[in-house]
A = this chain, B = another copy of it.
Amino acid sequence: MSKAYEEFKTYLDRAMALKTAMTLFEWDNETLAPKEAGELTSNVIGTLSGEYFQAITNDRMKALVKELQAEQGLDEVQAANVREVADELEQLDCIPRNEYEDNARLVAKSTAVWSKAKKDNDFDSFAPTLKKVIEYQKKFAGYRAKDGQKLYDVMLDTYEKGFNMENLDRFFGILKEELVPFLKQVTESKKKIDDGFLTGDYPEEKQEKLGRFLAGYVGFDFDKGVMAVSAHPFTTNLHNKDVRITTHYTDRVDSSLFSVIHEAGHGIYELGIRDDLTLTPVGQGASMGMHESQSRFFENIIGRSPAFWAPIYGKVQEMFPDQMGNVDLDQFVEAVNKVEPGLIRTEADELTYSLHVLIRYEIEKQLIEEDLDVEKLPQLWADKYEEYLGVRPENPAQGVLQDIHWSQGSFGYFPSYALGSAFGAQLYYHMKQEMDFEGLLEQGKVDVIREYLRENIHQYGKLKDSRTILKDVTGEDFDPKYYVRYLKEKYGKLYEVEA
């Protein structure tokens, strides 16, 4: 290791330790911390975040990065870490430290404000905080914008390199054009699916037990992972030997089960990252979209297929004899794929899901690019749901308050959810050529599929970006046609409609 890289690594280790600590605080806030802890703890997080800022942006680090960017002898991992830090330096260095710390404190508080507002069904109590969060996000994007780059494009690029309003307008345009009329066909189909048995008296302990079984079955390793409860399910990780997922329990058993498989998919990605990358900036998923492609791959492409349930459905019936004893495998699989336009994104079926994302994309564009008044959000939100999905929220908790993301300052993040589904479909059609996909699932060999994903995607962390990964695996650039094809084939067959 060169002297310069060695010194660089010291600063990097410091930064990663601080980041890991902040991750643990976040996890703790969402899963365990007592109600009144928020304010003081957010001061602590603000200070740590300032220290992180300092570890990356100090003058010595800047000089080292410049020196290392010119150095020839770096190996692939070293070069990637220098590149990631240089990127981050560029992003952070334009933000005054006091604003950076203020924002970190604000965000730590605002998730608590959001959480309470959602509980109280009171958008007005969240609006002033949300306004401040947006102001900071726009300010920061303004600092980072290059050559007249638009603010929302800056934000989009943060989560998905190479994507901006131009190509996302196109992507969402195709989805809108293809899926809105197709959804109409589906909802008007004579085929009716009964999913009544999925709602009922499903005790939490049993849901948890089944959730843990399913997470383990798809490959989430509980010796390196933890599962807990939070308001909004999420995955986080300290490193590749400590990956954490959450879920929540309702009276709909499929809600927790598929959220567990979804988060386990995220978790498996992080568990699969190479040992030499973990606890470095390269040691995380390639992008938000690629991450979401994996979680949704496990949740939907694997998890909602008849082949997946074939070897294990008997176990589910045994656990819930009263509710599922008389429901056969086909009925069960149809029920968990029932299409029903609804209000809540995280509860959406696979077909309507991307329309939920479309709505958020359009609203974010207005918030960031057209200075949409925050007060108008509940109304606009409701109008768009009515227009695209034919349902209208009766209150903000079912509408604009449902997602945590904006309270965290994550604007430009939502599109990755739809991109992820599209990445997954493209991977799926390729994998079907490489292996007997459904046959493997029927034999309970999820591990072969998981290993393929680990080998071709997970292990690399951020050594490759999402577009490169897609090209390397499938031989093609990203193409949304596979996603449309997948949805039309699957739901055309299920609802007996001509796609």
Contacts and interface: CB of A to CB of B under 8 A. Distances in A.
A205 to B, nearest CB: 10
Nearest to A20: B44
Contact of A34 (B28, B37, B223, B279): B223
A20 B20 CA distance: 13
Interface stretch (A10-18, A167-175, A400-408): A10-18
A61 to B, nearest CB: 15
Given A17-B48, A21-B48, A44-B279, A36 B224 contact: yes
Interface in A17-43: 17-18, 20-21, 24-25, 28, 32-37, 39-41, 43
A238 B44 contact: yes
Contacts of A51: 14, 17-18, 51
A262 interface: no
A279 B242 contact: no
Contacts of A24: 21, 24-25, 28
A278 B17 contact: no
A47 B21 CA distance: 11
A78 B183 CA distance: 67
A13 B45 CA distance: 11
A224 B39 CA distance: 11
B34 A242 contact: yes
Interface in A185-232: 222-226, 228
Report, as a range, how many residues of chain A touch the other chain.
35 or more
B47 A241 contact: no
A34 B239 contact: no
Interface in A88-141: none
B225 A34 contact: yes
A284 to B, nearest CB: 14
Nearest to A43: B279
Contact of A33 (B32, B35, B47, B226): B226
Interface string A48-65: 100100000000000000
Given A24-B25, A24-B28, A47 B242 contact: no
Contact of A17 (B13, B36, B47, B279): B47
A240 B238 CA distance: 26
Contacts of A223: 34-36
Contacts of A36: 223-224, 241-242
A30 to B, nearest CB: 13
A40 B279 CA distance: 8
A51 B21 CA distance: 12
A45 B33 CA distance: 20
Contacts of A28: 24, 28
19 contacts: A14-B51, A17-B44, A17-B45, A18-B48, A20-B44, A21-B24, A24-B24, A28-B28, A32-B226, A34-B225, A34-B226, A36-B242, A37-B224, A37-B239, A39-B241, A41-B239, A41-B242, A44-B279, A51-B51
Given A20-B41, A28-B28, 7 more contacts: A17-B48, A17-B51, A21-B21, A21-B25, A21-B44, A32-B228, A40-B239
